[in-house]
Amino acid sequence: MTVRIRDKHIARLRAGECSPELGVYLSDLLINCERVSDHCSNVAVSVIQVFRADIGSHDYLSGLKAGRSAEFIERYAAYGQKYRLAAD
């Protein structure tokens, strides 16, 4: 999602619809959103670990991201549609 947002910003810059100064603010905002996302993932894994002591947080997240199970893909698509950007 951050790549799409940055690409759209570059397109706006090329079209003269936006200034480079606003790109700095956008970059800061995207970095902060990524950090919030990372923190949310860490909280979610911690909650899962409370109920399943047999998993390690790093291994769990790596496996989840690498495995892309059918359930993961289905949920990812559903949430991507639900929370998609208005201009998509």
For the stretch 66-76, pLDDT in tens is 777 787 788 88
Contact 48, 60 (CB under 8 A): yes
Contact 13, 20 (CB under 8 A): yes
Most confident of 29-38, 52-61, 63-72: 29-38
- Residue 28: is its pLDDT beyond 90? yes
CA distances from 50 to 21, 37, 38, 71, 72 (A): 45, 20, 19, 22, 21
Q: Average pLDDT over the chain, rounded to whole?
A: 83
